Every structure is written in C-alpha cells, then in structure tokens.
Amino acid sequence: MATVLFPDIVCGPIHSRRLGISLGINLLPLKRKFCTFDCVYCECGLGEMFTENPLPTASDVEEALRAKLQALQQEGVTPDVFTFAGNGEPTLHPEFPQIIDVVTALRDEYFPQAKVSVLSNATQIHRDEIRQALLKVDNNILKLDSAFDDTMRQMNRPWNPAYNVADLVKNLQAFKGKLIVQTMFLKGSYQGRSFDNTTPEEVQAWIQKVAEIKPSSVMIYSLDREAPVKTLEKIPVEKLREIAEQLKMATGIAASVAG
C-alpha cells in the first residue's frame, strides 16, 4: 500500500496544485495516520483512528514554525500559504484553537501576505471551538465527497457509524459562506463494492447540497498520487471541468479544478 507521511511538524514549502507555494503544518504523529476517516484514496495509507504516538504541543509547533520561517526569510523564499494538513485530521488536536492563534500570529510577523488554510474532513465542525477557530483562517477547506451516505461511507469510511451527510450539510451551513467545499471525484471498488460519484445522479445531488451550503467557492480534484487501494480510477480533467461548469450554471458558485 502507498503511504506518504509528513516527516516533521513543518514541511516544505512544496508546490500545491490547489494552493500554490505551500508550507505544510502537521499537528499529528510523525509515524502514522490519526484521523476520523479512513478514505480509500488517502495518501497516508489505510490505518486506525487511535494512536499512542504523541502529538506536538502548541509550544512545539511555535518553535518549529518560527525556526522554519526565519530560515525561509534568510533564503529569500516566500510562501503563498501556510497549510494545516498532515498525517490525518488536524482539528483532532486538543490544542487546535490555540495553535491557530499561534500560526496566524507568526504569519503576521514573518509573511503577512501569506494565507492560512486548513484542509479538514469536517468531522469536528459541530464543536463550537473548532468552528470558531476555523473562522479565523483565510481558507477553511472542508470535505464533501458525496450527497449520498452510502457513497460517502464507501469513499471516506468514517469511524463514527452515525456520521451522515445531512448533519454535515447543516454544520457546513453554520459557516454562513465562509468556507471552501472540497470534493474528490473518483470511481472504483473496495471490499467487493463499487462506487462512482461522477454519475449524473451523484453530480446533481452534490450540486444541490453545495447550493444549500452556499460556500464562497469549491475545489474539485481527482487522484494525483498513488492510492492505498489499487482498484480506483482517476477522473479525467475534462470530466472535472464539465462538473465545475454544471455547478457554475446551476448555482453561480465557481469551482477550481485540479486534474
């Protein structure tokens, strides 16, 4: 199985298809994934939700990020964005709200023109402290891979059996438009079951959910790196652009496409 894990608290910068020159921030263990989803396409591999590996403290993050930003200034490298991603779901960190404050303050001190983005699966946004922290950053990039529970469960494999799309949409609506919806389009099979979130039925239902959420914009993409499940099929960029155009025509909401 393919596995790509962040080797440190701060990584990069790298060139991101979606975000530009990105400095990655990993609040999670360095040796394994820690997430509320076990997505079939996750570059961190398939894994368990819980971990005995320690998480970095807010002080650890501040020390590592300050050292990296000082080095980047000396090298003359300017990041476009600080991106919370890492080895799983960043909002699981118990000090996530405090770390958001630390990172935005360091951004303001060293590279005030850079954005702060969070890539999240949105499983923790029902918690007020998480939602309020996310509202402080420039880009809340929150996942909605399907309008249908069955497809979502096949693609995302949430550890919580009660997790459902209806509650997710309600929680996303609470951001009142200050969010970016992110959707992975793909088809394939896993454990004897097939899925395809690019069918006309899937796309029309997804467009309706996006219309209900009213995000500032949408990011759609397909596989870029090797996935841990080998029976997945990347969606051609032409199809992604077609979906983006359908969304724009139906809702007026723009979608960026990363093939």
Q: Which two tokens stand for residue 52?
A: 């005995």
- Which residues have CB under 8 Å from 211's CB, separation 6+? 250, 251, 253
Which segments within the chain are labelled E, that is strand?
10-16, 20-25, 81-84, 115-120, 139-143, 180-184, 186-190, 193-196, 217-221, 232-234, 255-258
On whether the 10-258 domain is CATH 1.20.140.10, my answer is no
Q: Find tokens 């989803």 and name the residue.
A: 37
Instruction: Please report which confidence band the pLDDT of residue 53 belongs to, taking 50, 70 and 90 as the band edges.
Output: low
> pLDDT tens for residues 219-245?
999 998 777 788 999 999 999 999 999
pTM for this one? 0.92
> pLDDT tens for residues 201-217?
999 999 999 999 999 99
Secondary structure letter of residue 41 according to DSSP: T
Helix 58-75 × helix 96-110 angle, to 10°: 20
